[in-house]
Structure 1
């Protein structure tokens, strides 16, 4: 008899939402923070988190199966896995749990109900069918931006050291959100000054984070839309992080042309985004992010490094290179505007 196939693999995909909800729920009630203090029994955790014991036991069983927590050697208590302590405990410098429990759980997760409408082009049934309409809602903009900030500081630091920008004096951060990338780049390069261009509700929050970083004298903001607003000119560097994936495909050429106009000769463009391999076989996380972006931008492109570099080459950019940034998820493409 011919084998039926790997039904467990298909079920794992279909039931994947259960695992993500287990993770989000544990973050919301503080399971990982409590276990970071030391192993705890179900009863101790229930008292600390306000959960019922029987429900918490079921949740913990799920978290063990996902290798997020582990039973102690005597089987009487639970402790965090090593990477859980690194990334999901709020006191860790690598923590990004707020990004997961606010932006991913409260925004991305429910909005994915609209994916079918987006695929069919039935955007009338989608409340927020573009990032601009989404960020025009002050509450939604605040949830998205505040949760994104912490998750962008690390990648911002990596981008800052990926190229030698010690001779650069001016940076334009288009779609720069709360200014996380600009903050990290200005920290690395003391002579650099930056401008963050993003939607008005977003840059209002950016000003807060910039002030907290004591960089109000080096980073300013412009409220606007990267596709339609006037960009400042004579810049040494133009940075676009997560912007190419958030605009319609026919807007990519506009972004490249605006970049060319904004850069000085010899200036560098840096594009950081979710990108799949040029053969479009993966990686899975990057592919799934492109899919969810369709909800907010139904005409968005699924990006590859090759496609981005083709756009830059057609405009006249040279000295192009690409590098991975967040493993399996994002890449960086950079190019230089030739000297006149």
Structure 2
């Protein structure tokens, strides 16, 4: 059983939420001004006076930010000597933390004020701070910097680590034609081509995304093995073509509402033969080994609300299985937390 908080502790937790945005930006400033890195470089501790001198930040600025960092447990201060803590170490050195901070700061922060309107209207009302698109996906290739870099680093961080193990699973049956649905920049398709010199790929995505994928494929001299099929899967008149041995959806379905997922999967089911395998790769938030991953994935749902499309989220694993079954698939096998990743693969076949 969880220990019940005292009223004093509960009030303190409430203040963490109330002032959360300020403390977040204090950490960003500590990092961007080089203060946190300088403290980290001096493991035995460094005086506040030296920090002011070497970072060339004002006494006011250094004092202010260090007081916030001490409250957060990012640094320890004793007799004017500052040392970095384990929390501070992770803020500086941990890739997951770096990617998440940049994504929140560069992509989500300014739009987060529109959370209430986004929930009420079912639209990503915060997206207007980045550009004038109905969803973020139309604008991915032309996002302003640094949002563009931070978005793609976030997306790739939460998928790339799964690819080595995913390739082993997908290629067990030696597929000759893979449809990469929502192929984005083409990373999965390129990994497939490298893994098996005989496989051919068809990337299905919005036209604006295919332009990026095609340019990347051209760079890699893969145009003879990768085809490009423009499609808007929210348009019921646009059908996934026949002929795939494998239909692959990597971190794709979490970009849609339940109703849209069923529509997309029905489309895939109609395109499938008895020999087609559908693989769904997703980081399901209720299927994680560590609380940091669960915490991050639930927060990602809020990004979908305010910035992406206003109606999608990260899902529980059983919810996705039920949606696949409703669309006409059976779940053949579940591969939980493959490799060094946060991802589960659902292997699906068209129901006979």
Q: TM-score category by the smaller chain?
A: 0.7 to 0.9
| Secondary structure in structure 2 of the residue aligned to 1:317 | strand
Q: CA deviation at 1:8?
A: 1.7
- Which blocks of at least 5 consecutive residues in structure 2 are unaligned? none
Distance between the aligned counterparts of 1:247 and 1:15, measured in 2?
Answer: 32
In structure 2, the CA distance between the partners of 1:161 and 1:18, relative to structure 1 (3 Å rule), is same
Q: What CA distance in whole angstroms lies between the structure 1 residues aligned with 2:85 and 2:334?
A: 43
Q: What are the within-5 Å matches in structure 2 for residues 1-340 of structure 1? A: 4=7, 6-30=10-34, 51-63=57-69, 66=72, 75=81, 82-84=89-91, 86-87=93-94, 94=95, 97=98, 100-101=101-102, 103-121=103-121, 123=123, 132-137=134-139, 139-140=142-143, 144-151=147-154, 152=156, 155-162=159-166, 163-166=168-171, 167-210=174-217, 215=222, 218-228=225-235, 229-277=238-286, 283-295=294-306, 296-300=308-312, 303-314=315-326, 315-324=328-337, 331-337=343-349
**2-side partners of 1:21 and 1:291: how far apart?**
19
- Counterparts of 2:76 and 2:223, CA distance in 1: 45
Contact 2:47–2:82, Cα closer than 8 Å, also in 1: yes
Task: Write the deviation string for residues 110-142 of structure 1: whole angstroms up to 9, x where unpaired.
Answer: 222111012222759666599754343464277
Shift of 1:82: 4.6
Question: Which one has a bigger Cα radius of gyration?
Answer: 2
Distance in 2, matches of 1:332 and 1:179, equals 20
Task: Give the Cα separation in 1 of the matches to 2:254 and 2:133.
Answer: 11
- Note closer, same or farther for the CA distance 1:122–1:67 as it changes in structure 2 (3 Å cut): same
- Give the distance between the partners of 1:224 and 1:50, measured in 2 at CA: 53
Number of aligned pairs?
A: 328
d(CA) in 2 for partners of 1:335 and 1:19? 43
Going from structure 1 to structure 2, the CA distance change for 1:48 and 1:248 (only over 3 Å counts) comes to farther
| Cα distance change, pair 74–126 in 1 and its aligned pair in 2 (3 A) | closer
Deviations 1:16-68 (A, max 9, x none): 32343234334444556666766676677667766434313433454455455
TM-score (ref. length: structure 1) = 0.73
Equivalent position SS for 2:232: coil
Instruction: State the distance in 2 between where 1:61 and 1:85 align.
Output: 18
- Scaled by the length of structure 2, the TM-score of the pair is 0.71
Q: Secondary structure of 1:335's partner?
A: strand
The CA distance in 1 between the partners of 2:249 and 2:350, in whole Å, is 19
CA distance 1:219–1:146, shift in 2 (3 Å): farther
Residues of 2 paired with 1:302 and 1:75: CA distance? 43
Displacement of 1:312 after TM fit? Answer: 1.7
CA 130–172 in structure 1, closer or farther in 2 if over 3 Å, else same: farther
1:256 is paired with a residue whose SS is: helix
Superposed CA RMSD: 4.3
Structure 2 counterpart SS, 1:270: strand
d(CA) in 1 for partners of 2:194, 2:251: 21
**CA separation of 1:115 and 1:124: change in aligned 2, threshold 3 A:** closer
| Cα 1:298–1:78 shift into 2, 3 Å | closer
